[in-house]
Structure 1
Amino acid sequence: MRITVDYTLCEGHGQCLMAAPTVFDLPDGSEQVVVIDPDPPATERDAVVRAAAMCPAGALRVGD
């Protein structure tokens, strides 16, 4: 699984962080999410897919 963020769309809502906190971070003072683990283990797949679906800006893509 591979995660990409379209930083032209990301608005820092943090929904992804709530869905997959071991994969995403929103550092203090930042307006955009940071992908901590761009290639997380398969056990995180459901959480990452949920995070992408929850993103109000549609900034996350999940691929194989």
Structure 2
Amino acid sequence: MMISEAVGQTRQGYDAMGAVLFPLLKAAKGFLLHSSHETECGWRVVEIWEAREDATRFFAT
């Protein structure tokens, strides 16, 4: 599981990023689940991957 905080992120920014990122994410080796929600300071993202190495490889490219 990967949890990240995007301080200062807005819904509009998240939606714009998601339009580009989500198709790539869904096709990524080892990707299982993405969930997110607005927080007091920005945006929180929770993802589940089969292995840490899969997430690391995806975000390194």
- Normalization by structure 1: what TM-score? 0.32
Q: Which has more strand, going by share of residues?
A: 2
Q: Which has more helix, going by share of residues?
A: 2
